[in-house]
Amino acid sequence: MSKGEVIVVGLGPGSADTVTPQAGAALRRATDVVGYGPYLARVPAVEGQTRHGSDNRVELERARHALELAQSGKTVAVVSSGDAGVFAMASTVFEALEGARGKDYGDVDVSVVPGISAMLAAAARTGAPLGHDFCVISLSDNLKPWTRIVQRLEAAASADFVIALYNPTSKERPTQLNKAFDIIRKHRDPITPVIFATAVTRPDEKIETVPLKDANSVEADMRTIVIIGSSATRMIERDGRSAYVYTPRYDMESVR
Amino acid sequence: MSKGEVIVVGLGPGSADTVTPQAGAALRRATDVVGYGPYLARVPAVEGQTRHGSDNRVELERARHALELAQSGKTVAVVSSGDAGVFAMASTVFEALEGARGKDYGDVDVSVVPGISAMLAAAARTGAPLGHDFCVISLSDNLKPWTRIVQRLEAAASADFVIALYNPTSKERPTQLNKAFDIIRKHRDPITPVIFATAVTRPDEKIETVPLKDANSVEADMRTIVIIGSSATRMIERDGRSAYVYTPRYDMESVR
């Protein structure tokens, strides 16, 4: 029996032209593909390849299934949207690998193929808001306490980082994004640009930029990345089109 | 005369199989390519296309040159390594565009094509260290005061973010990385994993993981990304190979 392996593959934000050749090669080489249904649907068909779709709420189960398949000699691609290493399946696969030290996943090789993350795609579509020091925070408190999220928002806002928020809202967590805006408003100018980038690069892409004073969670859903500018972030207005948003390389205070 | 445009293109960390199809298409469509010499050398030859190489220290000049070419009707690709929007040319192009409002760059369209950033590539090569909340900080004080960098390091370390450092060291700034480690040591366990990822995906790639207590700037050069784990970051040892490093989705304190 050949030695199996797991390759965790980032599919990019959605459009096929953001999938790297390295990711494409891994997907063609796989005997089995494991992932959340809508992500599997993005993987081009390969003859003889087996698909294992699952619901979005069973990450650890999915990771264990992939490791078991690899243990039986399969070459298993585990697919994530965006970059697999940013709030996605790569961590879960390593968690399953470590948690199962008692079992024998020992000779299963795990590798990760990076992808264009949602925040990089969102930033590119609006200009260069992540052009200087930034923090990336998941607002989901499914697996960490809300007090920890508040601590990180306070730290990021007070040290004038640009802030990118993943998992900003869901049906179960409708109030947290507005609480986050309230925390950030204590530290930032009311006209600081806030970007709501939803379904970036997909047919239903929607991008809105509003001043922090008007930022409201109704603009966001589960597929939204929210980017809040630092004190240095600037807008360049355009005729008849949305403004560019960018954060310069220089620090405003060192220039004034 | 046709209307010109500037497309800022992220070439990924180095190997050709990390260049997205979207980036490849933009490079083939360009009449002119502008960039730092070693990055230009990565762009496949296109007949009739003009290359404009430059030194690495003249970003703003290079951006203005690209906008001028576009103003004269050219389709200009400005190339960066990694992602063009993270400590790279995209911000500089928007800075030039805004700064020149008095001149007439008015109808030059600027767009950005994202790339696999060095930090995402470095993370993928080692496991999933950026699997949970993280901060990204440039240690260069060329354009911002060192006091601001210290403030951000303190904030990131005290709020238990994973920390990714760009521009960790250079001949002109040999001491700053060790000062950064000293700041982070005040907040983190001595055995916290620190990754030095140099020239990721290139033939001379070198990746070292050491405990924070032993972290030293001699491991880094200009091409290195340094990633310092949070309190939750874990290592999985492997026989005869470097350990995996990953940050779980859950927060340790919420599990204990």
Give A142 to chain B, closest Cα distance, Å. 8
What residue type is A172 in one-letter code? E
Q: Which residue has the higher pLDDT, B71 or A107?
A: B71
* A120/B160 touch (CB, cutoff 8 Å), yes or no: no
pLDDT digits (tens, 9 = 90+) for A202-216: 999 999 999 999 999
Question: Range(s) for CATH 3.30.950.10 in chain A?
Answer: 119-255
* B148/A95 touch (CB, cutoff 8 Å), yes or no: no
Mutate to test the interface with A, among B83, B147, B163, B202 (most CBs of A within 10 A): B83
The residue of chain A with its CA nearest to that of B108 is A238
Contacts A83 to B, Cβ<8 Å: 120, 124
B95 in Cβ contact with B67 (< 8 Å): no
Mutate to test the interface with A, among B8, B97, B120 (most CBs of A within 10 A): B120
The predicted model gives A193-203 an average pLDDT of 97
* A120/B253 touch (CB, cutoff 8 Å), yes or no: no
* B133/A132 touch (CB, cutoff 8 Å), yes or no: no
pTM above 0.90, yes or no: yes
The structure tokens listed for B26 are 């933009």
Q: Is A222 on the interface with B (CB under 8 A)?
A: no
Tell whether the model's pLDDT for residue B171 goes beyond 90.
no
Q: Could you tell me which CATH number the domain at B119-255 has?
A: 3.30.950.10
Q: Is B30 on the interface with A (CB under 8 A)?
A: no
Contacts A129 to B, Cβ<8 Å: 85
pLDDT at position B254 is 47
Mutate to test the interface with A, among B200, B254, B256 (most CBs of A within 10 A): B254
How far apart CA B256 and CA B243 sit, in angstroms, is: 24
The predicted model gives A177-197 an average pLDDT of 98
* A155/B151 touch (CB, cutoff 8 Å), yes or no: no
Cross-chain CB nearest to B137 (options A84, A97, A133): A133
Tell whether the model's pLDDT for residue B102 goes beyond 70.
no
Fold of B5-116: Cobalt-precorrin-4 Transmethylase; domain 1 (3.40.1010)
Tell me the CA distances in angstroms from B243 to A51, B138, B208, B212, one per residue in order. 30, 26, 10, 15
pLDDT at position B103 is 65
The predicted model gives A111-129 an average pLDDT of 98
pLDDT digits (tens, 9 = 90+) for B105-143: 877 999 999 999 999 999 999 999 999 999 999 999 888
List the 102-131 stretch of B: residues with Cβ below 8 A of A: 110-117, 120-121, 123-125, 127-131
Give A98 to chain B, closest Cα distance, Å. 7
pLDDT above 90: percentage of residues in chain B:
83
Tell whether the model's pLDDT for residue A249 goes beyond 90.
no
Q: Which residue has the higher pLDDT, B256 or B182?
A: B182
The predicted model gives A90-99 an average pLDDT of 94
Question: Range(s) for CATH 3.40.1010.10 in chain B?
Answer: 5-116
Contacts B121 to A, Cβ<8 Å: 114
The residue of chain A with its CA nearest to that of B109 is A238
Q: Is A16 on the interface with B (CB under 8 A)?
A: yes
